[in-house]
Structure formats: structure tokens, C-alpha cells
Amino acid sequence: MYESFGNLLTAMVTPFDENLEVNYEKVKELSNKLVEEGNDGLVVLGTTGEVPTLSSEEKLEILRTVVNKVGDRANVIAGTGSYSTSESIKLSQEAEKIGVDGIMLVVPYYNKPPQYALYNHFKEVAESVDLPVMIYNVPSRTSRNIEPETVKELAKIKNIIAIKEASGDLGQVAELSLIEKEDFYIYSGDDMLTLPLMSLGGEGVVSVAGHVAAKEIKEMITQFKNGNPEKAKELNRKLIPVYNAIFIDTNPIPVKEALKITGFDPGDPRPPLYKLKTDKKEKLAKVLKEAGLV
């Protein structure tokens, strides 16, 4: 039986220097900061990490850096999925050699595989490693939803143990909660839906807001898990403006700015993304201040 990756995982941004090169010292600092603030694990090389702009060499060096810095204190999950099954296998195997605790496989984007092809894709990648696997469903970015029936079949594969569900469809989450596998865990891929998802049996969240509000989100999750839903609801209400502000523009543009506002400079995003516009910076700063995060 596989244990969960934890309740609060943050999808880590990739720090860049002034020349938009990966700043590995800042990668160390940020991974340490996030773990010290209460994250149970870090998802590295995800959407929030600007993975489409990273070279293969950068991806591997980022993984090495994070594993070496916090691998003994938190779970490190590597985003190794892509729209190529063979490339996903290759990166997954390299990540396993580095010593990550699990891999996250996004639904293949752009080429829109049908459900039976999605099943084959995830099965082939999962069977190529001994690591536990989290599926990542984010149809707003991939243009393809992985349906609950497909996930139910994939859950029969021993090391497929989790899904990061970012479809925004709580009815779909309810269907996933019927999966009869003790070590299958459902994570919210949307900070705003963490509490509703946990009410349907979810394990926690792969967060973006966890960069600046990890302690508060962890407390909300803990209160819910400890049987205090009203207290969790109260804490969540205070976090809703933060969730909204963190997504005031395309992720991870605002969260990088939020880190700057709260005292950690991860640099600007790489093109085709760009730094946050002034008017939105002001709105973001106001929300963070009102939430007591600055």
C-alpha cells in the first residue's frame, strides 16, 4: 500500500535570474522556504514551474537541486508528463534515478488522445518506473478531459495512486471518490476548490497559493481533517480573496509577483509569459496586505 504524498503540496515556481537563466541558488532557497512553512511536498516541473520553457538539462538539474535540499524532509514529485509517451517515459526514468518520491503525469495536451489512448499512455509510463504516479487532469490547458471511467481503470495499476483534479467539476470528483482502492488519493488542482473537494473525500491540494499562504492553508486542511468543518470554513473564507488574487492573470505570473511582495524574489517569468502589469500588482499587493500575508 502506498501512503499519500501529504495534504498540502505546492507546485513550485522556477526562479530565474535577471537574464532569465535558472537561478539554482534561489531554487534551493525557495524549496527550503516552502517546506519550512508547512508544505508536505513540492511538485516540481509543473505548469507553475514554467516547464514548457525549460530545457531537458535544466529540468534534471532543478530536480537534483530540490531533492538534495529538501528530499529528506518533504516529498518531491516531478512533473514528467508531456504530449509524447516516449519522452514522458525518458524523463520519468531520469527523475527516478535522481531520487524523487513520485511523478506527476499531465493529460497529453495539444494532440487530444481519445480515452483508450489516454489509458495506454498512462499505463506505459507508470509501468516504466517503480515510483508512485499522480495523474494531472487540467482540461482548460490540455483541451482533453480524462473521464472518471478511464481513471477507474488506471487506478487498478498498482503505482497509479493519485489524481490532481483541476477540471472544476465537483460531480466528476464525486465519481472519482467511488474508486475502491484504499491507496488512491484525490487532490484539488484549484486552490478555490480545496475545501469542497475534501468534503467529497479528497486528500488535499496541489496549491499555487501555498507559496505565500502555506501555514493558513495547512491549518484549514488540518481543521477539516480533525472534524472541525466550521472552523475550516471560517479559515477558507479568509483565503478566498487570496486565491482570486493569485489568479488575477495567467499562472504563474501573479504568484511570482506575490512572492516578491512577500519578500522572496523568484525573478520574472520567461517569455512567452511576462511580468504582471502595474495595476494588477497594486490589486494583488492590497489583497495580500489585507490578508496579513505582508
Q: Indicate which residues carry an active-site annotation.
A: 136, 164
DSSP β-bridge partners for residue 84: none
The x, y and z cell numbers of residue 66, run together, are 530540490
Give 41-102 as a DSSP string.
EEEESSGGGTGGG--HHHHHHHHHHHHHHHTTTSEEEEE---S-HHHHHHHHHHHHHHT-SE
Helix (H, G, I), strand (E, B) or coil at 239: helix
Which helix (DSSP H) or strand (DSSP E) does residue 124 occupy? helix 115-126
- Residue whose entry in the numeric block shows the C-alpha cell 513520485: 102
* The one-letter amino acid at 20: L
Phi first, then psi: give them for residue 207, nearest 5 degrees: -100, 155
